[in-house]
Amino acid sequence: MRDRFDVVIAGAGPAGGQCARDLAERNYDVLVLETESESEFPRQSNKSTAGTFPSAMTAFAIPDDVVMNYTDDVVLESPNNHYVREQTGAVLEFAEFKRFLVRDSREKGATYRFDSRVSGPIVEDGEVVGVRYDGDEEVYADIVIDATGPAAPLAKELGVTGLEREHQAIGIEYEFENVDVNHPEYADLRDSMMLRLDHDLAPGGYSWIFHTGGDTAKVGLCYIQNESHNQYAKEGMGIDGYLDYWLESDPRFKDAERIEGTQAHRGSAHIQPPKSMSTDGFMAIGDTVPSIDPLWGEGIHKGMKSARAAAATVDAALTPEEPQTDAQTLAVYDRLWHSDVAPKQRARLMMTEILYLVPNERYDRLMADLQGTTEDTLTQINSGDRRAIAELAHLSDIPMLAKYARRRLLE
C-alpha cells in the first residue's frame, strides 16, 4: 500500500504552515514534511526579521501573543538624512509564530512529520505524483507543494522557478538590548521599523533596526553580491564583519549587548521574478517562488498570500469528481500570484535594482525628495506605479538608468 495524501507540502515555514491551515480547514488530507526535529523547531530556520503589517495579522488571524512589538512608523535612513512615514506594523517573535502555525493547522487536521528531509520529486508519466524523503522513503499525493524556501529541492529539479545565485540576497540579524532607539543624532526609532540605505554598512543592500520594546531591537543587514557590492565592498569583509562594523561605528549601539539566549538569524532570499510557479501536479509557494517584497524586504505576508492562492487552486483542482491536476489547471495559481500576491512585480523589482545601483549621495537626495511628497506617492511607488517612480527621478540619474538598461539587455 502506498503512503498517500491529498496534498504533500515540503517545509513548515510561514507559507507551508499557512497552506496546511487552509487545506486542513477545507478537510483535505494534508501532510507537511519538515527537515528539523520537532523538539528544536524552528532553531535552524529561525531566519526572519518577522516584521509585517496589520493586513497580514487580520487576514490570517495571527494572534497577539506571537507579537513582540506593535510599531507606529516606518523610517527610511540614508547616510545623512531620513524620512518618517506613519505606517503601523508588527514585529513577530518568529519562532513562536511558526510554532503557532504548526499547532493551529494540526488542530484543523493536518499531519506533520518532522526530521523528514525532502530530497526530490517522484515523477510518473511526466507528472509529479509524490516526493522522496529521508533516503528511500516515499509518499504520494494528488498535488505536491514546495515551501522549502531558497533551497527549493523540488522546484529546482523540476526546473520550475529558475532561481539564480546572482540574485540571491544573504542576511544576518541579532536581537540586542541597551539599544539607544532615540539617539539625538538620528530619527526617533521608538515603536518603529527602520531601513537604512548606506553602501558603507551594507554594500548592495540595506540594514535595519526594528524596535521590539523598551531598549531592545532586532538589528541586521543584507545585501546581494551585485555591481554595487563589488564597487563598495571592503576587501575581505563578509556579512558578519559588516554587522560588527555597524555596531562599532553607530553610537546607537554604544552600550548594546546581544540578548542572552538568542541566536543569530541567518537567511537568504532571491530577489528576482520567478520563471514559473507550477507544473503538472506541482506548485511552489513562499520564498521558493520567490515572493519576498522587493522594496520593503517583507516576506511573511507575501508568502502566506501565495499559500492561500495555492490552497484555493488545490480546492478548484480536487473538487471535481475527476480531479484535474495537469499544468493548465494548476496554472490558475500562477495567475493568482501575479494578480493578488505580487502585482506589478517587475516594476517593483526594477525600482529595487536601481536603488542598489545608486551611490550614497543619491540616497540622501531621495530622503529629501520623499519629504516633499505626499504619503500617496510612496504608496504608489510601493505598488509599482511607474509614473510615481518617475516623479523621484532627476536628470543626474540618466547615466545610471542607461547602465541599468544596458545590463538588462545583456541578460
Q: Which domains does the chain have, with CATH numbers?
A: 4-48+95-163+272-341 (3.50.50.60), 68-91+166-269 (3.30.9.10), 345-410 (no CATH)
Q: Is the CB of residue 110 less than 8 Å from the CB of residue 95?
A: no
Q: What is the pLDDT of residue 196?
A: 95
- Omega into 121 within 30° of 0, i.e. cis? no
Q: What is the pLDDT of residue 71?
A: 97
What CA–CA distance (Å, rounded) separates 304 from 350? 23
What CA–CA distance (Å, rounded) separates 140 from 161? 22
Q: What is the pLDDT of residue 283?
A: 98
Helix, strand or coil, per DSSP, at residue 144:
strand
Can you read off the three cell numbers belonging to residue 372? 516633499
What CA–CA distance (Å, rounded) separates 188 from 27? 48
What CA–CA distance (Å, rounded) separates 297 from 221? 11
pLDDT along the chain (411 residues), means of 10: 94 96 98 95 78 90 95 95 93 94 98 97 96 96 95 93 78 96 97 96 94 97 86 94 97 97 82 86 92 68 94 97 96 94 78 80 91 76 71 69 63 57
Q: What is the pLDDT of residue 294?
A: 55
Q: What is the pLDDT of residue 282?
A: 98
Can you read off the three cell numbers belonging to residue 148? 522549502
Q: What is the pLDDT of residue 405?
A: 64
Helix, strand or coil, per DSSP, at residue 142:
strand
Whether the pTM exceeds 0.95: the reply is no
Average pLDDT over the chain reads: 89
* Residue 233, number of CB atoms within 10 A of its CB: 16
Q: What is the pLDDT of residue 263?
A: 84
Q: What is the DSSP string of 10-30?
A: E--SHHHHHHHHHHHHTT--E
What CA–CA distance (Å, rounded) separates 106 from 122? 26
What CA–CA distance (Å, rounded) separates 144 from 6? 9
Summarised one tens digit per residue, pLDDT across range 86-99 is 989 999 999 999 99
Instruction: Count CA atoms closer than 13 A to 222's CA, side-chain side.
Output: 26
Nearest Cα residue to 160 out of 285, 271, 62: 285
What CA–CA distance (Å, rounded) separates 392 from 373? 9
What CA–CA distance (Å, rounded) separates 88 from 69? 11
